[in-house]
Every structure is written in C-alpha cells, then in structure tokens.
Structure 1
Amino acid sequence: MAGPPKKRQKRDDIKQEGQMPQKKFYRQRAHANPFSDHDLKYPASPAAMDWSQHYPAFAATVPAGVPNDDPIATPDHDKQNHLQPISKQVQVADIGCGFGGLLFALAPKMPETLILGLEIRTSVTEFVQEKAKALRVQHASTGLYQNVSCIRANTMKFLPNFFVKGQLSKIFLCFPDPHFKARKHKARIVSTTLNSEYAFVMKPGGKVYTITDVEDLHVWMAEHFAAHPSFERVGEEELEGDECVGTMRTETEEGKKVERNSGTKYVVVFRRLEDPPWP
C-alpha cells in the first residue's frame, strides 16, 4: 500500500512558473557536517564554472580576438570549454545562505552586482533557486532579481574552486553553526586557515560581515579575524552607516527568529587590507 506523498512529490505537483516555493516542502535539518562526503559537484577551477546558467540575463558573447580581463569569461575559455561567458563577475557571497533571506533583500538594492548564496543542504539550495526563478518571472518588467542565485557547495573545502584571487567585495557569514563543543571547533566557518582563503578571494577594501546570537562564537570570530594580517576591524561608526549591516540584522531567517525571542545579535565586520609589497 502506497504511503503519503513525499515532500519532493508534493512540491513538484504544485510547481508552476512564477509561483513562489513553499518553505514547508523544503525543510531540512539545521546543520550539516562539513567534513562528510556530500557527493558535491564543483569546478576544477573558477574558469571551468558556467555562470551563465545562474545569471542568464548577464550572459554575453565576447567577439573572438577581443582582449578580456575577466578570468571567468574569455574567448579562449569559451572555445575550449563550451561555456557561455557572462558580462560581470560574482562580487558578493553569502556563505551558508539558508533560505536566502539576505540574498533576496540585497538583490534589489544592488541590481548591477551579482550576488551568490552558497549552501550545503540540498533541499534548502533548491528552495533558494526556485524562489529566484519565481521572483524573476514576477518582476520580468523591471528586471529585478536577475542578479541573485544559489549553488550547493561546501565552502570549507572548495571556495577557491569558484572564485579567483581578489574577486569578491563582500562575504557574509550569518548565524553560522556555533559548534559549541571544543572538539567541534575545527568545523567552525571562521578559523585561521579559512580566513586565509577568505583573504585570497577578497579584493583589498572588501568586507567580511559576521553576525550571530552566540556571544562565544562572536568573540571567536572577532579574535580570529583580528589575528589575521590581511584583515582589520571596521569601527562602530562606519557600521552604523553601512546598509548591508542593517539588512543583515533584519532579513535572515535566523535574525528574525532571534528578534522574536528578544535575543541579542552580535555583529563584527572586517576589511581586507592591501597586501604588502614583495621585498
């Protein structure tokens, strides 16, 4: 005897173009072990990534023989890998984007900037992708939300596979898994080693935004970034005038939950410094 329809079957049955996905059909456990084998697909290098499928409105054809400084989209790369180039690079990354609250809040505020969510959970990634498609259809007349997308990825392992040196201007780390036990601290999204990878993919002057409701994790992230020679802490006065900080405080699903529970949100932002000249 057949059991009740599974979540995927239900959401496929009601899926229509332009219709917003229902979150109840995409629920998944809150956290995933980043050290597990998640059967992920990832490019061998940023040049092998086909961004046109994520940002079709920004797909561009570069005439053969025309110089192009974009390492993602060059004529030679297009010929060799049969990838359609895009006119812009991704500049903003929300690592562990969850259901995309921050992504969809930032997208209309930064319509000419490509914004990418990276999420390790399969169902949650699919929800964000479907919501992006629906919003593009609903806002076809204005062209909004063409600049936002999401990929399933484990950034603790494969961040440099997606982004070249100095590519990103903003990285968001919003309410990451605190991993309370000391033996689990190696799984935290902020660490000495990972901070070096963030420094690699960030352009000088770019910012890493962090927020959490766990004070111990807040202190951990602040101390680890402060100890890294490629970052300096952004002052409180500058934070107050940063629209991204206000958006980060209010638009994520976890942020709204903390607000409902009258919790405290701890924010710290670090700026990528210029690399010192070679001796």
Structure 2
Amino acid sequence: MSLPQKKYYRQRAHSNPIADHCFEYPASPDDYDWSTLYPIIKTNTLNKNNFVEFLDVGCGYGGLLVTLSPMFKESLILGLEIRVKVSDYVNDRIQALRKQNENEYQNIAVLRTNAMKYLPNFFRKGQLKKMFFLYPDPHFKKAKHKWRIINKWLLSEYAYVLAEQGIVYTITDVKDLHEWMVSHFEEHPLFERISDDELESDIIVEKLFESTEEGQKVTRNNGEKFLAVFRRVCDKINQKVT
C-alpha cells in the first residue's frame, strides 16, 4: 500500500472554528470507543488505561504524529484536525504506514473534530501529558482574534484535560501570534513558562521545527520560528494540602 499524495487532499488553509460543522462526539469520554482508532488497544500492550496521552491540536498533514510515534511507542498519540480532506489524508497516511511497517505506527491516530468546542467530550480531567499547537492559524484580523486556538477561555479547558506538570508546546512563524500566545499563557494562573535551559534536555523540542509541512515551508522561505513551552502547574488546592 503506497502512501497517499497530498495533491489529492488539498483544502483551504483556513477554517472558521466558530461556524457549525457536522461532527459526531460522545456525551462523555467514557462513551467513546478508542479501539476504532487504535486497534492495538485490544492487545492491551500500551499504557495501562489505554488513554490518549499526547494531543496535537490542528495536526495538519500529520508530520508530528509520524515523528513522535517511534519515539514514544508506549503512549497513544492523537491528532485533531477540523478540515475534512486533511484529516482524511492523515488517516490514509497512517493506514499506509501501518501496512508498510508491521507493528509500527499503531499508537497514532487522527480525529476530525473542533478542539475549541469538544475537548471535554473526549478527554478526562488530567488525562493528557503533552499538548501541541504547531503553526496555528494566526487569524490576522483583529475581529477574528476570537478564533485563535489560544485564548484565556480555552486555556482553562486545556488546563482541565492536562495532568499536573503536563507540557504544552507552541511554535509559530508569526511574531504577533507568538507574543499573543505567550502573554495569554503567562497571565493564566495554571501555566508557567519553561526556561530555555530546561528545554535543552527535552528531546521533543528539536522535532517541532521541521516535522510538519508548515515548519518545512517556513524553512524554505527563510522565515523565523518562535518557540514557547509551558508547564501545567499544580492546582492551588492541592498545593495547600501538600
């Protein structure tokens, strides 16, 4: 089975996340059958609870998923993508990789949904260990800033689904968007920025620059890339108890 070709799955780069789309979603995380995305769950060889632990929000054509799969074989990794054709491409890519590489790429999958609306329907409190926001849509016009995937309301949802000490990775080639994301994370009481010194030992960081199609495009155009990584801090109530 050959890998799919992107030229047959091209779609507009931008999608209105506020508009109504046709999505199926569970009433609660317990209602979703993850074995439909990860057949390996049936063998129970991954993490004890078979919960998704890494989440790439707006995964595009799946470059990060494919990169992380062999690095974290015991973790379920999921990409979310709102665009129909792009999510179809990622799914077809994963299926082809599984057929070409026996017992490999079993821990990655893609789900078409709207992360701005349905995260709590799919993920439990404190479930995720890592979240990724790589080259998100900048929505340049001020009137569309409410469409940005990072805002003060959504950060509270991300804090809900992230485990304490969980990590959020952000990267963009748009300086204004980088500053927007940094300011919103730094203003939120449940996140703290991770220093550059600490990031030097993080094996994921170097993969964020070139693993995605968008990142490779920025490199070809000699553009800048702005990285910021944040930690989900402990809830204050838990800090008082300890």
Fold-level match, TM-score > 0.5?
yes
Distance 2:170 2:162 in 1: 15
Q: Does 1:197 align with 2:196?
A: no
Q: Does 1:161 align with 2:127?
A: no
| 2:79 aligned to which of 114, 117, 124 | 117
Runs of 4+ in 1 over 6 A off after TM superposition: none
Partner amino acid, structure 2, of 1:25: Y
Q: Which residue of 2 aligns with 1:74?
A: none
> Which ranges in structure 1 are unaligned for 5 or more consecutive residues?
1-17, 62-69, 71-85
Q: Which has the higher contact order (CA 8 A, sep 6+)?
A: 2
The correspondence of residues 142-181 of structure 1 with structure 2, limited to 5 A, is 143-181=103-141
Secondary structure, aligned partner of 2:219 = helix
1:87: Cα distance to partner?
A: 4.8
Partner amino acid, structure 2, of 1:113: S
Q: Deviations over 1:131-186 (max 9, x none)?
A: 1111111111xx21000000001000111111000000000000011011111110
User: Percent identity at matched positions?
Assistant: 53
Q: Could you tell me whether the CA contact under 8 Å between 1:60 and 1:87 is conserved in 2?
A: no
Secondary structure, aligned partner of 2:19 = coil
Distance 2:142 2:199 in 1: 31
Q: Could you tell me whether the CA contact under 8 Å between 1:208 and 1:270 is conserved in 2?
A: yes
| 1:34 aligned to which of 12, 17, 36 | 17
Q: Decide which structure has the larger Cα Rg and report it.
A: 1
The correspondence of residues 23-172 of structure 1 with structure 2, limited to 5 A, is 23-60=6-43, 87-140=49-102, 143-172=103-132
Q: Which residue of 1 aligns with 2:3?
A: 20
Distance 1:40 1:126 in 2: 14
Q: Which residue of 1 aligns with 2:144?
A: 184
1:128: Cα distance to partner?
A: 0.5
When the two chains are superposed, the root-mean-square deviation of aligned CA atoms in Å is 1.4
Partner amino acid, structure 2, of 1:264: E
1:60: Cα distance to partner?
A: 5.0
Secondary structure, aligned partner of 2:166 = strand
Q: Deviations over 1:96-148 (max 9, x none)?
A: 000001110111111111000000000100110111111111111xx210000
Distance 1:48 1:242 in 2: 34
Distance 1:57 1:49 in 2: 16
Q: Deviations over 1:192-221 (max 9, x none)?
A: 000000000000111000000000000000
Secondary structure, aligned partner of 1:170 = strand
1:267: Cα distance to partner?
A: 0.3
> Which ranges in structure 2 are unaligned for 5 or more consecutive residues?
none
Partner amino acid, structure 2, of 1:43: P
Q: Does 1:221 align with 2:204?
A: no
Q: Does 1:270 align with 2:233?
A: no
